[in-house]
Amino acid sequence: MEKAFFAVDLGATSGRTILATLSDNGLELSEVNRFPNHLLQVGENFYWDIYELYRNILEGLKIVSGKGIRLTSIGIDTWGCDFVCVGKDGKFLRLPSAYRDPWTDGAPEKFFERMPLSEVYGKTGIQVMNFNSIFQMDTMRRHKDSAFEAADKILFIPDALSYMLTGEMVCEYSVASTGQIVNPGTRKLEPSILKAVGLTEANFGRFVYPGEEIGCLRPEVQKLTGLGPVPVIAVAGHDTASAVAAVPAENEKFAYLSSGTWSLMGIETPKPIINPDTRQLNFTNEGGIEGTTRFLKNITGMWLLERCRQVWKAEGREYSYDRIQEEAWKAKDFPSTVNPDDPRLANPENMVEVIRSLAAEQNQPVPQTDGEMISCIYHSLVAKYMEVIDILRRFAPFEIRKLHVIGGGSANGIVSQWTADALGMPVVCGPTEATAVGNVMVQARTAGLVKDLWEMREIIAKAFAVKTYLPGNKQSKP
């Protein structure tokens, strides 16, 4: 029997809704609507327009309803860390702050003055990034932020959107874990961390795990969309957790690379890995589905190339994806690399000039042509992947035999082959739509169509073609 699922997949620059059908013939996906996610600057601060995101979700639901499709359920995944403050009357107190807002610069150091890093990491296993939720909350506390002081509840972005659809407030495990407020051992909110910013568990919605039902569409939403009381499911609300759930692996002996603007590289483990070494290396332990932990490292990814393209566009040179690959291939032997995670590459005005200066600092050949710059970026990412894999091998409770690349970056054949050569292991690429696929499959598990994570992955492997790159394969011109 065919079942239809509606997945909302929101990224930091754009969002989309997906209609998926699962039947005896397999899994099929089609895009319903796509829309930009604009970062709003008001004064010196940056916000997300959550109402516009909600409007676009409703538009997608209306389109599906207009086609007479009967939905089994709805699920929402987004980026992590950011949240909405909700008043006692259930109203949002203002637009949610965006993680790219510089207002949390230096916030971790201020927080560690009251609670040492060793204690924070020991209780959460989360790497230190200045925009982690706990540092946003502490900054609001220190500044006596009016919305934070008046907040009755804190809702992470996917939970806030689910609340708008259902009227039910929840706190989903995977997205909450990104905020450095969840204890991965207990898989619950950590009271001592919350207390440090003046909060308690009562300031959050009902704690749920991927696959639990949040509630049904509220009557007003049913009227607006033409749908009935469709259930909204708490999928893995953090987009990377949904993406990793869609890795088409046959066993646990793999590493994954969720490749896009960010590169998130790690392993899936039954337990968190928290010790002084992982703290020093700034590795993170985020919540996955079915009790798994995503032990991973955040790496700056194709952000470097995206920002270079902005520079080239301003100079009158625009490149298609195919042209970028051609230029990289021409300069494939260019030898220079830089550290993608150098703080100077976080958000420079001119990415090209900063990469050139970093190469010069290290007495390496300075990329002069655009092709040399692209090659430098690609080789730099591959070098970082090799470094991280070596670290993962130290901590993995199993032998890592493959690297699964998912997300948009999985379509980059040049980087994939170079990665296979550098790591000395097969690199399996696909699906590119991993986040939406993982979202849908968690809904399908809740509907009783699949029994567990490994059956989900078996279905995904059959539904989507993957491409495998083997070490030493000769690669022809793209």
Q: Cα 242–210–88 angle (5° rounding)?
A: 110
Sequence-distant (≥ 6) Cβ neighbours of residue 55 within 8 angstroms: none
CA dihedral sign of residues 435, 438, 444, 445: negative
Which of the following is catalytic: 159, 239, 370, 421? 239
149 closest CA partner among 185, 197, 183, 193: 197
3-state SS, residue 45:
strand
Task: Give the integer Cα–Cα distance in Å for 471 and 299.
Answer: 23
User: Do 330 and 337 form a contact (C-beta atoms < 8 A)?
Assistant: no
Instruction: Give the angle 380-382-386 at the CA atoms, nearest 5°.
Output: 115
Pairing of strands 188-189, 153-156: unpaired
Helix, strand, coil % in the chain, rounded to nearest 5: 40, 25, 35
User: Is residue 239 annotated as part of the catalytic site, yes or no?
Assistant: yes
Q: Could you give the residue ranges of the DSSP H alpha helices within 276-361?
A: 276-280, 303-314, 321-330, 351-361
At 475, list the tokens: 């690669």
Active site residues per annotation: 239
